[in-house]
Amino acid sequence: MARVVVDVMLKPEILDPQGQAVQRALPRLGFEGISDVRQGKRFELEVDGPVDEAALARIRDLAESFLANTVIEDFTVKVEEGAEVAEAAK
Amino acid sequence: MTARIGVVTFPGSLDDRDTQRAIRLAGADPVALWHKDKDLKQVDAVVLPGGFSYGDYLRAGAISRFSPVMDTVIEQAKAGLPVLGICNGFQVLTEAHLLPGAMLGNDHLHFICRDQKLRVENAETAWTGDYRQGQEIHIPLKNMDGRYVADPYTLDKLEAEGRVVFRYLDMNPNGSLNDIAGVTNEAGNVVGLMPHPEHAVEPLIGSGRTDGLPFFTSILKKLVNA
Amino acid sequence: MSRTPLDTVEHAAATPDVELPWAELGLKKDEYERVVEILGRRPTGAELAMYSVMWSEHCSYKSSKVHLRQFGEKAPESDALLVGIGENAGVVDVGQGYAVTFKVESHNHPSYVEPYQGAATGVGGIVRDIIAMGARPVAVVDPLRFGAADHPDTKRVLPGVVAGIGGYGNCLGLPNIGGEVVFDACYQGNPLVNAGAIGVMRHEDIHLAKASGAGNQVILYGARTGGDGIGGASILASETFDDAKPSKRPAVQVGDPFQEKLLIECTLEAFREKLVVGIQDLGAAGLSCATSELASNGSGGMRVTLDDVPLRDSTLSPEEILMSESQERMCAVVEPAKVERFLEICAKWDVIATVIGEVTDGDRLEIFWHGGKIVDVDPRTVAHDGPVYERPYARPSWQDELQADDANKLPRPATSEELREQVLKLVASPNQASKKWITQQYDHFVQGNTVLAQPEDSGMIRVDEESGLGVAIATDGNGRYTKLDPYTGAQLALAEAYRNVATTGAKPLAVSDCLNFGSPEDPAVMWQFAEAVRGLADGCLQLGTPVTGGNVSLYNQTGEAAIHPTPVVAVLGVIDDVARRTPVAFQEEGQLLYLLGDTREEFGGSAWSQVIHDHLGGMPPVVDLERERLLAEILISASRDGMIDSAHDLSDGGLIQAVVESALLGGKGARLVVPDGLDAFTFLLSESAGRALVAVPRSEELRFNDMCGARGLPVTRIGVVDGDSVEIQGEFTLSLADLREAHENTIPSLLA
């Protein structure tokens, strides 16, 4: 089993009030030097079988038609290598 | 004779019964439609009601948009079936690309419930014929994700073609671009808006005004006279 | 890793000397010994989990029970009560075949830890109580109390609580029609998040939490069970029974309002088809509570297979499953022939439903895990026969001093100008200011039956579209009054809620309460509790409004400092036709303003003493419940016969607060004259109880005066609705614009 990660972010030109709220809170918490915060969504898909080009193409379709609304959002799809190893090391 | 107007219930729809009541008060026959059912029961028009279908998880309207009933609604709307999307229904219509643009979280990050002043910008759609162009009305608004956005090209096109149907007056309650409260498609049969006309149909209940009733009498007249 | 053997009943009997962590689970030594005595052996881990959680203060009311009995003993004769104390919620007959169930509960501690989820799950829990009675929930109300409005932690807690109530209730489709928001430094470490709900059903639809009929199936439906809110049970799981388990389970339960909405619809559909014999919601103590209560209220026993419970986390131990407080779950008892249809309805709504057991002939509750019997108890001993404490109580030594510190002796404004400034300061103070910034985050309109919502005196919901039958609810409490005199303070809370219902034109019928106090182990707190309960029970008897149920929240204190004793009282009323309801807002210029009731110099615990002098002392206003009853009758008659167009109850902040609210809501000002025999200060700011402000159309003046005169209610004409300012003749004038700015900007500027 492998994990494919789809990250969905608001397009740069779309106002992100949640990200702005986080950013406004930073100085209060003593974090300086962060000029912008944008908040997005991360989907972790556990895929049965090999993650080949065909599987990735299906996932890109899924992301484009469902996980993201491309009127307002962009997305990226990437395969997370050794997901289980990474988790165990935490 | 009268008209049969369907009201779709998605899991998490909240204003479906209220919308049926509004249709009844306007003199038409409300018909309950179920999201798992492709069959529209030969209704003459469809309302997608407000609520939090699927909890607004993923994005408001995003999951409902893929329900079986929507396959038929999309197909028939493109062929001219009158469709009204209220609040969550509007969100479903944008997710289904029957209406342009998209809905995002309110700019102030809070749910907002208030009696909202609107201006009717287009009294020629299937759902607004009983209003006067430029009429100012009060309709309750209640939402978390009511910020209408579209790219500049789409906005210009909507404005140029008179497809902004309602505009917020006095205050913009959610940060919608151009104060847009509702839009229509090119043909004028599909209308979506964030405020809730079904909560403004009886003098004692809800907002205490009946400014929302013309939505339902408009469509009834149109269907009966057709 | 090595697994210790499953702690079955057999194993427990064979290993009497195994030490169990009863103290860590909150049991006292004598309580644990009683469990051993009841069972005739040491309990299994699972049994210990059940007893410890069911015998907790929260579930067993062990400190409060001896006092709460008065609500039954002193219950007034009432034809209206269909289901009384002891069920999930009381049920009241409102006529035309309709019954209404309502209840208020606290979710104080969880809301301080995690404001959003604490408040959200508070709404979820009370709504499931309402469904479990067979009713469709129709509205929620939220009495809230926070620390000082300008304290930084209030800015963390309040917006989270409000967003949680809104996020859950709005998504559920329940109009939020009432409640309160009060600020006081005494709640700084213990905010009070009380949640109330109302449900409507036909008489024949009333359902009860009992499992009867051997062979009937026990169905768990709703969300999967996870490790939410387990707390103590993890000790059993990780330290005693299996060291390899994750040792930390989340103490915060997370709510899923979407799941709850499906649960409502699917449960109501099952009720409609008469598929349900008995039903119980899963709240505090989860399955432990649901199985033991269903079994002990029914005729038979119950056998449950825990392996069949759908899990969100497969590592959960049986003890954890029994104690889990995962939200949005219900338990139904269904006849075997109807199980298939019940499961179909659940599938239609995408709700997971699983048969986990059945009702048996015997009288034991038996629970199995991996084939072994891990619980074998008499369910009554778990659910009903918990410990009962006669906690010592004593009037605190400081009470006399507090009452002697008379607020009537505080310096009063010396000039009209000073009075004007104090009035402006009062209407802008956080407690008296508009709460619109909060209430506009709640949906008032959904379901299309809301006739009145806050800031009206009571929330009102239409029940029947044809006849216009409606119900009204108001919640009130005043911790300051109650601190000064707990007996009187509790009665004042009752009187205010009663009055608020009548002010809108509805007839008060029944009472629910949420009693928020400090630690019962402090004799002073226990005295406050005993006095408040006595006052409330006596008051309900006198007003003829039975207590139908309620909730007690103790241990609301930080270190040695307890909150003000805060009984919150909810009164439910009925109105034959909602078209006759009376709103707060002034309707028409020229209408005459009348003050009903007697105004005395009463400033103890008043808003004025708090805002102007930061003072709490003296005695609270005098209560006269016969007068309250007369006032209510007048308000209801006047509403029914169209003699008044607006009305507002007088309470904290006094007359001027009521006038300002009615004026701002109606967008119309008022001209007032100070009546003979009263000074302007007392006239405007006294908090004497049993009073209301009404606006009478000139055409009704004679009739209204005659009615009040005939029935002996003091009535004083004090002015007229007029203009765009509030003018006190000979004293001062404040424009509506200035008043609006003062009244409406406070809360957003502190919290937004």
* Burial (CB count within 10 angstroms: exposed 0-12, middle 13-18, buried 19+), residue C233: buried
Nearest by Cα to C661 from C649, C673, C674: C649
Q: Which of B9, B52, B87 to mutate to test the interface with C (most CBs of C within 10 A)?
A: B52
Assign 3-class secondary structure to C661-702.
HHHHHHCCCEEECCCCCCCHHHHHHCCCCCCEEEEECHHHHH
- C451 → chain B, closest CA residue: B205
Asked if B62 reaches chain A (Cβ–Cβ under 8 Å), the answer is: yes
The SS3 assignment for C98 reads: strand
- pLDDT of residue C3 exceeding 90, the answer is no
**If residue C419 lies in a helix (H) or strand (E), which one and from where to where?**
helix C416-428
Subunits with 3+ C-beta pairs closer than 8 A to B = A, C
Distance CA C606, CA A22 (A): 40
| Cβ contacts of C583 within 8 Å, gap of 6 or more | C452, C456, C504, C646, C665
Mean pLDDT for chain C overall: 92
Q: Which of B49-53, C169-173, C282-286 has the lowest mean pLDDT?
A: C282-286
Q: Which residues does residue C336 pair with via DSSP β-bridges, in sequence order?
A: none
C536: tokens are 């409330």
Question: Which DSSP symbol is given to C85?
Answer: B
Minimal C-alpha gap between C752 and chain B (Å): 9
- A43 → chain B, closest CA residue: B58
Q: Within a 10 A sphere around the Cβ of C673, how many other Cβ atoms?
A: 17
Distance CA C309, CA C219 (A): 10
Asked if C262 reaches chain B (Cβ–Cβ under 8 Å), the answer is: yes
Predicted local distance difference test score (pLDDT) of residue C233: 52
Predicted local distance difference test score (pLDDT) of residue A14: 84
- B60 → chain A, closest CA residue: A69
> How many alpha carbons fall within 13 Å on the CB side of residue B27?
13
C353: tokens are 């439903």
Q: Which of B54, B56, B58, B144 to mutate to test the interface with A (most CBs of A within 10 A)?
A: B58
Q: What percent of chain C lies above the pLDDT cut of 70?
A: 96
Kindly list the residues from chain A whose CB atom is less than 8 angstroms away from the CB atom of residue B149: 14-15, 71-72
Q: CB-CB: which of A14, A21, A66 is closest to B104? A: A14
Chain-chain contact of B142 with C443 (C-beta, under 8 angstroms): yes
**If residue C11 lies in a helix (H) or strand (E), which one and from where to where?**
helix C9-14
Kindly list the residues from chain A whose CB atom is less than 8 angstroms away from the CB atom of residue B59: 69
Mean pLDDT to the nearest integer, C273-292: 90
Chain-chain contact of B111 with C443 (C-beta, under 8 angstroms): yes
Asked if B149 reaches chain A (Cβ–Cβ under 8 Å), the answer is: yes
Predicted local distance difference test score (pLDDT) of residue B150: 96
How confident is residue C553, by pLDDT bands cut at 50, 70 and 90? very high
Taking one residue from B and the other from C, the number of pairs with CB-CB distance under 8 angstroms is: 90
C499: tokens are 């009055």
Nearest by Cα to C611 from C653, C639, C646: C653
- B114 → chain C, closest CA residue: C440
* Burial (CB count within 10 angstroms: exposed 0-12, middle 13-18, buried 19+), residue C426: buried
- B54 → chain C, closest CA residue: C258
Predicted local distance difference test score (pLDDT) of residue A36: 87
Q: What residues of B are labeled active site?
A: 87, 196, 198
Tens digits of pLDDT across chain A (90 residues): 689 999 999 988 888 888 887 888 788 778 888 888 889 999 999 998 888 999 999 999 999 989 999 888 999 999 987 544 333 333
- pLDDT of residue C110 exceeding 90, the answer is no
B93: tokens are 């219509």
How confident is residue C26, by pLDDT bands cut at 50, 70 and 90? confident
Minimal C-alpha gap between C456 and chain B (Å): 13
Predicted local distance difference test score (pLDDT) of residue C245: 41
Asked if B107 reaches chain A (Cβ–Cβ under 8 Å), the answer is: yes
- pLDDT of residue C689 exceeding 90, the answer is yes
Residue C467 annotated in ligand binding = no
Minimal C-alpha gap between B47 and chain A (Å): 23
* Burial (CB count within 10 angstroms: exposed 0-12, middle 13-18, buried 19+), residue A90: exposed
CATH architecture of A2-14+40-88: 2-Layer Sandwich (3.30)
Predicted local distance difference test score (pLDDT) of residue C251: 64
Chain-chain contact of C171 with B54 (C-beta, under 8 angstroms): no
Q: Which residues does residue C225 pair with via DSSP β-bridges, in sequence order?
A: C311
Yes or no: say if C101 and C237 are a contact pair by the CB < 8 Å rule. Answer: no
Which residues 341-380 on chain C approach chain B with CB closer than 8 angstroms?
A: 349-350
Nearest by Cα to B206 from B115, B128, B125, B134: B115
Instruction: Identify the top-confidence range among B121-125, C54-58, C107-111, C237-241.
Output: B121-125
Nearest by Cα to B109 from A27, C116, C181: C116
Which pLDDT tens digit goes with each residue over C294-326? 888 888 899 999 999 999 888 889 998 998 888
Q: Within a 10 A sphere around the Cβ of A35, how many other Cβ atoms?
A: 5
Domains and CATH numbers, chain C: 19-34+44-63+208-383 (3.90.650.10)
Kindly list the residues from chain C whose CB atom is less than 8 angstroms away from the CB atom of residue B142: 170, 443-446
Asked if C166 reaches chain B (Cβ–Cβ under 8 Å), the answer is: yes
Which pLDDT tens digit goes with each residue over C133-143? 999 999 999 99
What is the interface pTM, i.e. ipTM, of the complex? 0.95
Q: What one-character-per-residue DSSP string does C276-321 give?
A: -SEEEE-BTBHHHHHHHHHHHHSSSEEEEEGGGS-BS-TT--HHHH
Q: Which of C321-330, C347-356, C478-487 has the lowest mean pLDDT?
A: C321-330
Residue C326 annotated in ligand binding = yes
- pLDDT of residue C248 exceeding 50, the answer is no
Distance CA C536, CA C538 (A): 5
Evaluate if pTM is beyond 0.90.
Answer: yes
Chain-chain contact of B15 with C446 (C-beta, under 8 angstroms): yes
Kindly list the residues from chain C whose CB atom is less than 8 angstroms away from the CB atom of residue B110: 163, 166, 441
- pLDDT of residue C229 exceeding 80, the answer is no
Chain-chain contact of B102 with A17 (C-beta, under 8 angstroms): no
Chain-chain contact of A72 with B58 (C-beta, under 8 angstroms): no
Predicted local distance difference test score (pLDDT) of residue C247: 40
Nearest by Cα to C504 from C462, C463, C472: C472
Which pLDDT tens digit goes with each residue over B16-63? 999 999 999 999 999 999 999 999 999 999 999 999 999 888 889 999
* Burial (CB count within 10 angstroms: exposed 0-12, middle 13-18, buried 19+), residue C598: middle
Predicted local distance difference test score (pLDDT) of residue C4: 65
Q: Within a 10 A sphere around the Cβ of B153, how many other Cβ atoms?
A: 9
Residue C314 annotated in ligand binding = no
Mean pLDDT to the nearest integer, C569-581: 97
Q: Which residues of chain B register pLDDT less than 70?
A: 1
Mean pLDDT to the nearest integer, C621-650: 97
C53 alpha carbon, distance to own chain's centre: 22
Nearest by Cα to C687 from C616, C620, C594, C610: C620
Considering only CB atoms, which residues of chain A are within 8 Å of chain B?
A: 10, 14-15, 17-18, 21, 66-67, 69, 71-72
Kindly list the residues from chain C whose CB atom is less than 8 angstroms away from the CB atom of residue B198: 448
Residue C652 annotated in ligand binding = no
Minimal C-alpha gap between B102 and chain A (Å): 6
Chain-chain contact of A17 with B107 (C-beta, under 8 angstroms): yes
> How many alpha carbons fall within 13 Å on the CB side of residue C323?
31
Mean pLDDT to the nearest integer, C175-199: 96
- pLDDT of residue C8 exceeding 70, the answer is yes
Sign of the C-alpha dihedral computed for residues C510, C515, C521 and C524 taken in this order: negative
Asked if B21 reaches chain C (Cβ–Cβ under 8 Å), the answer is: yes
Cis peptide before C16 (omega within 30 of 0): no
Strands B190-193 and B83-86: parallel
C213: tokens are 């009929």
Subunits with 3+ C-beta pairs closer than 8 A to C = B
Q: Which of A71, A73, A74 to mutate to test the interface with B (most CBs of B within 10 A)?
A: A71
More confident: C235 or C135: C135
- A16 → chain B, closest CA residue: B107
Kindly list the residues from chain B whose CB atom is less than 8 angstroms away from the CB atom of residue C261: 11-12, 14, 52
How confident is residue C253, by pLDDT bands cut at 50, 70 and 90? confident
Q: Which residues does residue C450 pair with via DSSP β-bridges, in sequence order?
A: C461
Which pLDDT tens digit goes with each residue over C191-206? 999 999 999 999 988 8
Residue C24 has phi, psi (to 5 degrees) of -65, -30
- C583 → chain B, closest CA residue: B204
Domain limits at B149?
Answer: 4-225
- pLDDT of residue C246 exceeding 60, the answer is no
Do chain C and B touch: 3 or more Cβ pairs under 8 angstroms?
A: yes
Chain-chain contact of A72 with B62 (C-beta, under 8 angstroms): no
> Domain tally for chain B?
1
Nearest by Cα to C133 from C191, C197, C189: C197
Strands C670-672 and C692-696: unpaired
Yes or no: say if C513 and C570 are a contact pair by the CB < 8 Å rule. Answer: yes
More confident: C752 or B33: B33
Subunits with 3+ C-beta pairs closer than 8 A to A = B
Yes or no: say if B146 and B94 are a contact pair by the CB < 8 Å rule. Answer: no
Yes or no: say if C644 and C563 are a contact pair by the CB < 8 Å rule. Answer: no
- B55 → chain C, closest CA residue: C258
Distance CA C664, CA C308 (A): 59
Domain CATH number, residue B126: 3.40.50.880
Assign 3-class secondary structure to B21-88.
HHHHHCCCEEEEEECCCCCCCCCCEEEECCECHHHHCCCCCCCHHHCHHHHHHHHHHHCCCCEEEECH
Residue C440 annotated in ligand binding = no
Q: Which residues does residue C646 pair with via DSSP β-bridges, in sequence order?
A: C695
> String of b and e for C37-72 (b: at least 16 CB within 10 Å)?
ebbebbbbbbbbbbbbbbbbbbbbbbbbeebbebbe
Q: Which of B91, B142, B196 to mutate to test the interface with C (most CBs of C within 10 A)?
A: B142
Distance CA C696, CA C704 (A): 8
Which pLDDT tens digit goes with each residue over C598-612? 999 999 999 999 999
| Cβ contacts of C615 within 8 Å, gap of 6 or more | C405, C407, C410, C609
Minimal C-alpha gap between A55 and chain B (Å): 21
Predicted local distance difference test score (pLDDT) of residue C536: 97
C237: tokens are 């799981």
Minimal C-alpha gap between A16 and chain B (Å): 8
Q: What residues of C are labeled active site?
A: 58, 107
Kindly list the residues from chain B whose CB atom is less than 8 angstroms away from the CB atom of residue C173: 14-15, 51
Q: Within a 10 A sphere around the Cβ of C620, how many other Cβ atoms?
A: 27
- pLDDT of residue C524 exceeding 90, the answer is yes
Chain-chain contact of C171 with B12 (C-beta, under 8 angstroms): yes
Distance CA C503, CA B206 (A): 20
